[in-house]
Amino acid sequence: MHWFLEDFTEPVAELRGSIVDAAVAIYGRISSDLLPTPTKSHYVFNLHDLSKCIQGILQADSRTLRDANHVLR
């Protein structure tokens, strides 16, 4: 995240640590709260799902994403 956000504006680049911390916190919460049930035993939240969230952020364009509020949304 640090390397990728170097080309973004400073308010966006400052979010890099918060983005990672939030992703890890969300993973911890979901992995403990959304456990498989007998009716939905086929689905288990894992790190692959978390990596898809980060990959979505890594598709952002520094020319169009210039405001920290846009990243947070």
Q: How far apart are CA 45 and CA 38, in angstroms?
A: 15
State if pTM tops 0.75. Answer: no
Residue 32 has a pLDDT of 82
Mean pLDDT on 17-42: 83
* pLDDT per position as a tens digit, 40-69: 777 777 788 888 888 988 899 989 888 999
Residue 14 has a pLDDT of 93
Q: How far apart are CA 34 and CA 56, in angstroms?
A: 22
Query: Could you list the residue range(s) of the whole structural domain that residue 44 is in?
Result: 4-72
Residue 39 has a pLDDT of 76
- How many domains would you assign to the chain? 1
